[in-house]
Amino acid sequence: AKSEAIVKKMDELGFDTFWSAEHHFQREGYECIPNLLLMYVHLANLTKNVKFGCGFNVNPMWHPLRLAEDYATADILTKGRVIFGVGRGYHSREVDTFGVPSTVIDSDANREVFEEQVEIMMKAFNQQFFSHQGKHYQIPPEVPYRGYTLKKISLVPRPINLPVETYQPIVSASQHAMDFMAKHGIKGIIGGGAATGGASDEVVKRWQETLAKHGKETELGGDLIIGIATYVDETEEKATNMGRRYFEENMKMFGPLGFVRGLSDQQITALSSGSAARSAGLPTMEDAVKSGAWIVGPTERITERLMQLQDRYPGLEEMNVGASAMSTEQSVILEQLDRFGKEVMPTFKNQAK
């Protein structure tokens, strides 16, 4: 019901895309959507225009052909309103339970499986008949079928929108990962969701250089979405105070998973203890605002800061604006979407006309 209310509000206000993530077994109450594509087919039937971004489908928890089939089906049923996304998987409780090491248990093995899976899915999307012979997958198996030996196979159905627009998170920003993304035409998302902090100039510049090396010239910020958390209120001080508990709950969730930069083991342990946390020197909401990871305050200030980001990265066409963080109540999310959609977004929508 919460997701339904959010996407209806976003559709009403003219937001472009609703993004969410695939996760499993989260008894804590956060990140409780195990199948994005299934949910998005439902949400598309409740809305008219808003798109739905997979941020991200976690490949190692799928067979690549099942994921490719499900995406193609969702693409057809929603008439192209689902955006594909691929991720490697950092929750050991999730990924390792499905039989592949997560990034925190064996990053190299995880990467090896992930990259082979992406290779298979891109073949399945883009080739009418394909085969794949790799370390982890032999597709198809050479077995007898209806009087002949199987050599190639077809994805049925295939997506109606080709090439498939695909996104992947840029977190560690390794050159290997960037080259892999550019090779397959995968776009990047920096910040937002689990990833704290905004984009760094060095990473954005290196992404532009990587695209150029692979034959695609872009302006700085091209083929990227940058995620920023926001909180709209009458003053920066009030917005900072109102957003503080959501920021702290987000840190409590993602700090132990390695997504809050610079935390010591002692600080991570202190996160679960209210009294110890207060004296542990943990990052504060003020730190997040100062660094630009959160943009808070009256609509004029938020508009100005987003304009600065746009000027800094002229190729940037989309920003992922986080109107919610862990534990944000539905009423607060809807109120924040309403204020942002009516008071901030029109400035940027008018630019696009």
CATH number at residue 98: 3.20.20.30
Is residue 221 in some structural domain?
Answer: no
Q: What is the longest distance spanned by two Cα atoms in the chain? A: 74
Distance set, CA 74 to CA 3, 43, 342 (Å): 18, 11, 30
Task: Work out whether strand 148-149 and strand 144-145 pair parallel, antiparallel, or are unpaired.
Answer: antiparallel
- What is the distance between the alpha carbons of residues 99 and 92, in angstroms, rounded to a whole number? 10
Instruction: Using the Cα atoms of residue 330, residue 333, residue 339 and residue 342 in order, give the sign of their dihedral.
Output: negative
Element (H, E) at 24: none
Residue 28 lies in a domain: yes
pLDDT score, position 252: 82
Distances (CA, A) of 169 to 77, 173, 181, 185, 342: 26, 9, 10, 14, 29
Cis amide leading into 56 (omega within 30): yes
Spans of the chain, pLDDT less than 50: 194, 196
Residue 130 has what DSSP assignment? B
> Does a structural domain hold residue 105?
yes
* Dist CA 285 CA 121 (whole Å): 41
- The reported pLDDT for the residue numbered 278 is 72
How much is the pTM? 0.92
Q: Does 47 map to a domain?
A: yes
Token pair, residue 196, equals 């704290």
- Whether residue 327 is contained in a domain is answered as no
| Angle 149-152-154 from CA coordinates, rounded to 5° | 130
Non-local (6+) Cβ contacts of 347 within 8 A are: 303, 307
pLDDT at 1: 78
Report the distance separating Cα 141 and Cα 153, nearest Å: 10
Question: What token pair was written down for 58?
Answer: 């976690």
* Residue 175 falls inside a structural domain: no
DSSP summary character for residue 56: -
Dist CA 231 CA 281 (whole Å): 24
Name residues whose C-beta falls within 8 Å of residue 187's C-beta, 6 or more positions apart in sequence. 165, 166, 167, 168, 181, 223, 224, 225
Tokens representing 51 are 């798109």
pLDDT of residue 194: 47
CA 175/CA 179 separation, integer angstroms: 6
Per the structure, the count of domains in the chain is 1
Give me the domain span that covers residue 67: 1-169
| CA quadruple 238, 320, 118, 26: dihedral, nearest 10 | 30
Q: What pLDDT is recorded for position 78?
A: 98
Domain-located, residue 162: yes
Q: Is residue 99 part of a domain?
A: yes
Provide the token pair at 221.
């910020």
Note the pLDDT of residue 268.
78
